């Protein structure tokens, strides 16, 4: 066999299994699509659009539904000569302040981000702004100048707006720009957030206008994920490449954890990749994706997440993770902070470093907790006031990630211990 051949095994089109792939038709979001459409209907009538706030966990279709509905809207609007609809779409992932959002908005108008087929329909001759160095007022004035020039009906979509945290001035300014700055336009703002807390923490004056209409996306249930996955596999995989139960298992795992379609798709893709690799290695074109591949995929993805999460840990964070993992390997978690700290101290000294004070160590445990690598366990009902922790990922994943890290030294014992205690399979 040649080193590279184009033999067909399992995956027909890997791009379609990309969690960011946008399918042409959406399943399981009919209610949201209709609700969305009803909020946007005033635009078609030539009325001023509503401001709209959308929230719900990550991976549940907020962005794809928005893009789908806006595309439909743009298409419908074409029939009406008296409506001039300008859409500006901004993803706020890389903005942490209102100032940055304003700069990025101006630049999206002047030079739309062409990378991902943005919904943005406008462009302008003016020069883009640099990221820093202007007075905030100047940036907003530039923005109003552009909006005034665009005219007509303007819809501004701010996706992942929760990135601006408490600095929500832009959300106060934009919906009021029409009246405060005398813009002869019809202006609507759609804010999309992955974080419900953000909605709660908005200042009252922002809530009043931005959240004039709002709706919530529910996480997907297992049956809904099954339909989404099944549809995806029709074009992404060759026929009859899945054992029964694979879609169900991927959906159940994602539904139990997050209800995220992104997570379900990622799991399915990883399972398909593991099966394909096995098919190629064993030269077996009849290989199917099985539930075992899905289980292995879960571990592998978790491992990737731990590895990813470990990137910006200091060496102390890593030793604390090692300490907690070694308790897990002994089948002795959840474990109290005091014992974690003792073991961490021993480990650090063994690798000839100086341990942190208790307080510092605890900050690192909190960080692991925030990254969902470990979790704190409710100790209510037990006597005394103390924290207990356990791994929030499979022991196997944590061990593999630790073993793969070259900065912490040899860890042969860890895996042996875990195997002896039957917490991982041999
Ligand atoms: P959110 O914006 O809520 O974080 P997205 O809209 O980006 O989530 O959805 C994540 C991915 O999940 C999308 O790129 C898409 O591939 C898939 N997806 C989500 N909802 C659906 C759906 N109803 N039908 C098909 N695919 C979906
Ligand atoms: Mg999104």
Percentage, residues of the chain above pLDDT 90: 65
Position 291 pLDDT exceeds 60: yes
**CA–CA separation, 84 and 65 (whole Å):** 22
- Ligand 1: residue of 59, 159, 231, 265 to mutate (most ligand atoms within 8 A of CB) is 59
Q: What is the pLDDT of residue 384?
A: 65
Q: The whole model's pTM is what?
A: 0.84
Q: What is the pLDDT of residue 116?
A: 64
- Ligand 1: residue of 14, 18, 61 to mutate (most ligand atoms within 8 A of CB) is 61
Residue among 375, 400, 394 at smallest CA distance from 310: 400
Q: What is the pLDDT of residue 345?
A: 95
**CA–CA separation, 402 and 93 (whole Å):** 30
Position 28 pLDDT exceeds 60: yes
Sheet with 388-391, strands from edge to edge, namely 335-336, 388-391, 374-377
Helix (H/G/I), strand (E/B), else coil: 118: coil
Task: Please give the structure tokens belonging to residue 147.
Answer: 């909006």
pLDDT band (50, 70, 90) for residue 111: confident
Least confident segment among 3-7, 211-215, 318-322, 352-356: 3-7
Position 385 pLDDT exceeds 70: no
Residue nearest to atom 8 of ligand 1 (CA): 59
Ligand 1 pocket, Cβ-based, cut-off 6 angstroms = 19-23, 26-29, 58-64, 194, 228, 261-262, 265
Residue nearest to atom 14 of ligand 1 (CA): 20
pLDDT band (50, 70, 90) for residue 382: low
**CA–CA separation, 204 and 76 (whole Å):** 35
Measured in whole angstroms, how far is the alpha carbon of residue 294 from the centre of its chain?
21
Mean predicted confidence (pLDDT) in 189-197: 92
Q: Say which ligand is closest to the CA of 66.
A: 1
Mean predicted confidence (pLDDT) in 33-43: 94
**CA–CA separation, 317 and 408 (whole Å):** 11
- Ligand 1: residue of 196, 254, 261, 263 to mutate (most ligand atoms within 8 A of CB) is 261
The phi and psi torsions of 27 (rounded to 5 degrees) equal: -100, 160
Residue among 38, 47, 73, 45 at smallest CA distance from 215: 38
The phi and psi torsions of 67 (rounded to 5 degrees) equal: -65, -35
| Cβ pair 158, 191 in contact under 8 A | yes
Q: What is the pLDDT of residue 80?
A: 92
Dihedral of CA atoms 140, 141, 144, 145 in degrees, nearest 10, equals -140
| E-assigned strand segments in 239-329 | none
Percentage, residues of the chain above pLDDT 70: 96
Position 114 pLDDT exceeds 80: no
Mean predicted confidence (pLDDT) in 202-225: 91
């Amino acid at each position: 066999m040649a080193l590279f051949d184009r033999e067909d095994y399992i995956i027909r089109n890997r791009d379609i299994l990309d969690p960011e792939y946008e399918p042409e038709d959406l399943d399981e979001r009919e209610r949201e699509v209709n609700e969305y459409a009803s909020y946007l209907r005033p635009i078609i009538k030539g009325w001023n659009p509503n401001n709209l706030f959308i929230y719900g966990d990550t991976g549940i279709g907020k962005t794809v539904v928005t893009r789908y509905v806006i595309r439909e809207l743009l298409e419908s609007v074409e029939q009406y000569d008296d409506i001039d609809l300008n859409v500006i779409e901004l993803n706020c992932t890389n903005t942490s302040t209102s100032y940055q959002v304003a700069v990025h908005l101006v630049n999206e108008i002047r030079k739309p981000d062409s990378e991902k087929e943005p919904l943005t329909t406008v462009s302008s001759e003016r020069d883009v702004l640099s990221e820093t160095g202007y007075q905030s007022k100047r940036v907003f004035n530039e923005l109003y100048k552009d909006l005034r020039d665009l005219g007509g009906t303007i819809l501004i979509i701010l996706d992942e707006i929760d990135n601006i945290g408490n600095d929500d001035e832009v959300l106060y300014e934009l919906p009021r720009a029409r009246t405060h700055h005398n813009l002869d336009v019809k202006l609507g703002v759609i804010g999309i957030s992955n974080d419900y807390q953000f909605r709660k923490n908005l200042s009252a004056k922002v809530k009043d206008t931005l959240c004039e209409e709002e709706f919530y996306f529910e996480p997907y249930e297992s049956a809904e994920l099954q339909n989404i996955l099944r549809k995806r596999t029709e074009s992404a995989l060759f026929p009859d490449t899945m054992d029964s139960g694979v879609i169900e298992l991927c959906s159940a795992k994602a539904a139990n954890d997050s209800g995220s379609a992104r997570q379900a798709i990622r799991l399915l893709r990883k399972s398909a990749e593991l099966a394909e690799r096995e098919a190629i290695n064993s030269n077996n074109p009849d290989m199917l994706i099985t539930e075992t591949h899905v289980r292995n995929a879960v571990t592998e993805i978790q491992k990737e997440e731990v590895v990813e999460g470990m990137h910006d840990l200091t060496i102390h964070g890593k030793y604390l993770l090692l300490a907690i993992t070694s308790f897990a390997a002994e089948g002795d978690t959840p474990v109290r902070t005091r014992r974690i700290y003792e073991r961490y101290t021993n480990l650090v000294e063994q690798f000839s470093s100086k341990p942190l004070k208790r307080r510092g160590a605890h900050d690192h445990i909190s960080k692991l907790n925030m990254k969902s690598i470990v979790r704190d366990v409710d100790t209510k009902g037990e006597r005394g006031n103390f924290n207990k922790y356990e791994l929030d990922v499979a022991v196997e994943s944590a061990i593999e990630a630790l073993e793969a890290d070259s900065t912490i030294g040899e860890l042969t014992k860890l895996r042996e211990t875990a195997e002896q205690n039957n917490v991982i399979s041999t």
